[in-house]
Structure formats: structure tokens, C-alpha cells
Amino acid sequence: MNTFLYDSPMVTIGITCYNAEETIERAIRSALEQTWKNSEVLVVDDASTDHSVSVVQAQIREDIRFRVLTTEENRGVAAARNRIVSEAEGEFIAFFDDDDISDPLRIEKQLERSIACELELGTKTVICHTARLQVFPGGEQYYAPTIGTGEINALPFGVAVADQMLIGRPLPEPVAACPTCSQMARRAVYLKQGGFNESLRRSEDTDFNVRFALSGGYFAGISEPLVTQTMTFTSEKRVEEERYFAHQWLKNHQPYLDKIGWYRHAIEWLDIKFDYLSGHRKRFILRSLLLFFKFPVHTVKRLIWAWPNREHSRKVSDWHGEHYGSP
């Protein structure tokens, strides 16, 4: 451990859980195996109807670092994460998903990167993500990069990151996602942003990151895949559910999108994207042509911006099709 982590900050590892009796044990184990020991593990079970809570309690036994909180009704992952933010005793919060595995060095390396960035930038408004190894059904693996892995003085921040997330405008580095399952930040960062939007059961992480970016926040990253992300399904991951909540979070940012002249195109592009993901190829082609005639410049730009990420888009489309079928 580098000596600049002089104050040995406490980290809350926050795990949200819902009907994860088959996977939560490995998430708990990866939290227990972290090399950074000044930590607590806070599990919020969002009214599971299976034996998730019993599995968690059997795993943690008498470990004083663990706390398990339950909710009386299922309110979604955003509300569960906000409960973690509210109850956390750590100065930093790192979120783990209930079906993922984090490398034992994840917390240590994210702390090192975060604090180094804070010291050089002179601000504590920093979020740190790691790259992920996504494991698809059948065992196929995909390396999912993250942003902010370069020199500290060139970290992406502010409206440039918001534009990448909202309309796909590329950053100088490759396009990459910033999911909460690989995220760490100071608790004060989450509190300042008002936490996660509880009206969103999907896309709540993107919504949070856009708000953080528009407030001038910096995005630091680690190129090493310190999270193994299992691509599992819930009812909220159906294409139509994803489409609905993606619409909602875009509408939340309509004032900014109107300001830069992209809102109408962003909404229609989103529908085209989900036509592709759900296998509606003919409708995808027809809507794409109509969008081109309505917004030729915007559409050409987005096609150019999206082209480098086409292989992963195909993989995600196949993933949806395998589970829910393509029309």
C-alpha cells in the first residue's frame, strides 16, 4: 500500500440484493476477501421472496464488519443504494452487485487511484470506476473498458462526459460505460447529488453519472478488470422495461438536451436502438431512414460515433434475443 493513503479511510462496501440466493454468496465472499481491511459491508435486501437473507446471514455469521438491512417492500435498486448511502459509516462507498465478483485488490486499487487524483486535481469531486469482465450465458467473455484510465491531468470531466452518455459524442478515449457495480466515490459525493433517482428501476446509474458530470465531476478509471460481471436477467432487464426507463432518464435531462439542440433526436435514436436490441430489424432500418431525413447531420454523427462499439451492441442484442426471443 502506498504511503500517501496516510489516513487509512474507512470504506463501506454496499451490496444491494434481490432474489439472489444462488449468487449472493460469491458477492459476499469477494467482499470478505478484500485486502483493504478498514471496511464495513452493508447489505440491503430489497424484499427478496427467496432465501437470500438466510444465505447472507449464514455467510457472515458473527462478523462485526457486516450489517444486513431489509425492506418491507421492493422499491428497486436506486432506493436500496440510497439506503446504503444513508446508513454508511465509511468515508468512501464502493458498490458491489449481488451476482458479481470483485478482485481482492479492488478496494485498495480504487482508493489509491481516487486519492491520487484528488491530490493532483485539488478536488474531492471524483468518481472511480474499474473495467469489467462481462461473462455472458454460455461462458463467452467480453472486456468492458471504463473511462478515465489515462493521465490524471487529462481525466474526463464535466459536460464532455455528459455529452458522451446522453448523445454518444466521443471522448478522446474509447467509449465506455460507468455502471455502479464498479464504482467508488466519497459518501459526500453521493449526498451532494441527492443520491440515485428512485423513480428509475433501470438507467439509475447513468442518470446519476450525468448529473455528476454536469456538476463538474471528474471520472477516474482503472483499466484492469477488477469486477467480473455476470450477465444475468431480471424482469426489469427486459427490452421494453429498459426502453421505458431510458426514456425517463433522458426526459430528466431534457433542459440540457434542448439547450444543445439534441433532445428530439436523442429520444428517437433511443427507440431505434431498442428496435435493434429487440431484433426488430425491419423497423430498425425504416426508423433509421426516417430519422436520417428528419435530422441528417445529427444522424450521421451518431452513426459515426456508434460504429466503434458495434460489436458489443450486437452481443447485447443476441443476449436479449436468447432469453426473450426476437420477433
CATH number at residue 32: 3.90.550.10
Domain match, 266 and 224 both: no
| Mean pLDDT in residue range 291-296 | 96
Same domain membership, residue 267 and residue 224: no
DSSP-derived secondary structure letter, 163: H
Domain annotation covers residue 210: yes
Q: Are residues 157 and 43 in the same domain?
A: yes
Are both 17 and 91 inside the same structural domain?
Answer: yes
Do 202 and 282 lie in a common domain? no
Q: Are residues 161 and 63 in the same domain?
A: yes
pLDDT at 28 over 60: yes
pLDDT in tens, 235-292: 455 667 888 888 999 999 999 999 999 999 999 999 988 888 777 889 999 999 999 9
| Other Cβ atoms closer than 10 A to 158 | 15
Same domain for 93 and 35 = yes
Choose between 152 and 7: higher pLDDT. Answer: 152
Where a domain ends, among 230, 250, 277? Answer: 230
Cβ contacts of 88-91, under 8 Å, gap ≥ 24: 88/12, 88/14, 88/40, 88/42, 88/187, 89/10, 89/12, 89/40, 90/9, 90/10, 90/11, 90/12, 90/39, 90/40, 90/187, 91/9, 91/10, 91/11, 91/186, 91/187
Instruction: Mark which of 214, 230, 246 sits at the end of a domain.
Output: 230
256 occurs within a structural domain: no
- Does 301 lie in the same domain as 161? no
Within a domain: residue 246? Answer: no
Q: Are residues 130 and 66 in the same domain?
A: yes
Note down the domain range covering 168: 11-230
Is residue 269 in some structural domain?
A: yes
Q: Is residue 248 part of a domain?
A: no
pTM of the model: 0.91
Is residue 66 one of the residues assigned to a domain? yes
- The total number of structural domains that make up the chain: 2
Instruction: Please answer whether residues 190 and 201 qualify as being in contact, where contact means their C-beta atoms are separated by less than 8 angstroms.
Output: no
State whether 185 and 90 are in the same domain: yes
Q: Same domain, yes or no, for 149 and 278?
A: no
| Res 232 pLDDT > 80 | no
Q: Which of 18-27, 60-69, 107-116, 241-250 has the lowest mean pLDDT?
A: 60-69
Percentage of the chain modeled with pLDDT above 70 = 89
Asked if residue 169 and residue 305 are part of one domain, the reply reads no
Is 198 inside any structural domain? Answer: yes
Tell me if 94 is assigned to some domain: yes
Q: Are the CB atoms for 292 and 245 separated by under 8 Å?
A: no
